[in-house]
Amino acid sequence: MIAKNIFFSLNAYQLKLMALMAMFLDHLARSIFPDLYILKVIGRLAFILYAFLLVEGFIHTRNKGKYLFRLLIFALLSEIPFDLAFSNTLYDPFRQNIFFTLSAGLISLCIIDSKKVSSDVKILLIACLVTASNLFYFDYLYLGVLQVICFYVFRSNKLKQFLTLGILNVFYLFRISTQAAAILGFVPIYLYNGERGKKTGLLYYIFYPTHLLIYWVIKRCFME
């Protein structure tokens, strides 16, 4: 999905900044200012951008195993900050952070891309991953993994991407009332020009547990 011949475009670096800002505001609302509805609406853009960027990373990375390893490491490193920020406890079995969701999404893409596995086995394995994302309470549950899959499977067809992801996000309204706003994420995605832009390195990953710890400290020091 590459934007061509338009007056304005965005590269991957800029999409990452948008995703980080949307997530920052979403978590600010979830952890400190639950009544600021507008922040939650803006926050709905975060995951759809992360899912899109994950697929772009999968397509362009030279080492998929290293990519997955990095996601899993930060899933483990982020779990305590995630639970402290949102549950005020060191471990909440009913909440797992977004890196687990992204890891499951990446594994799904590896399965889809595999030449050694039959279609029936692929469907079974992906069904198991989607089920596991629900059973273990990964952030966004089944929606997260399915969004990643839709971005990859329909990467050459914008209309199919929009329709499938639109249906998924509207269906998820029963859980998060603001989820339909995620569709607005297609605006910056449509403006994506396929260029990498500046490198973010590990900062893109480190920001996640760091800002969650900061939110927890703020709550502990000033709101309890």
CA distance 184 to 202: 27
Which position has the token pair 């709101």? Answer: 223
Asked whether residue 1 is assigned to any structural domain, the reply reads no
Confidence of residue 201 (pLDDT cuts 50, 70, 90): confident
Asked whether residue 26 is assigned to any structural domain, the reply reads yes
Query: Does residue 87 come out as left (phi exceeding 0), alpha (psi in the -120 to 50 range) or beta?
Result: alpha
Q: Where are the alpha helices (DSSP H) in 36-157?
A: 37-43, 45-60, 64-87, 98-113, 119-135, 141-153
By the 8 A CB rule, do 105 and 144 touch? yes
Asked whether residue 66 is assigned to any structural domain, the reply reads yes
The two tokens of residue 78 are 């982020």
Percent of residues, the chain, with pLDDT higher than 70? 97
Asked whether residue 130 is assigned to any structural domain, the reply reads yes
Summarised one tens digit per residue, pLDDT across range 104-127 is 999 999 999 999 999 999 999 999
**Range of 154's domain?**
12-222
Asked whether residue 170 is assigned to any structural domain, the reply reads yes
Q: How many CB atoms lie within 10 A of CB 208?
A: 21
Asked whether residue 178 is assigned to any structural domain, the reply reads yes
pLDDT of residue 2: 56
pLDDT of residue 129: 97
Asked whether residue 3 is assigned to any structural domain, the reply reads no
Tally of structural domains, the chain: 1
Confidence of residue 83 (pLDDT cuts 50, 70, 90): very high
Asked whether residue 198 is assigned to any structural domain, the reply reads yes
Round to the nearest angstrom and report the end-to-end CA distance of the chain.
Answer: 47
3 state DSSP class of 138: strand
Beta bridge partners of 135: none
By the 8 A CB rule, do 68 and 110 touch? yes
User: Please, which residues have CB within 8 angstroms of residue 181's CB and are 6 or more apart in sequence?
Assistant: 41, 42, 44, 45
Is it the case that residue 212 has pLDDT exceeding 60?
yes
The two tokens of residue 24 are 């920052």
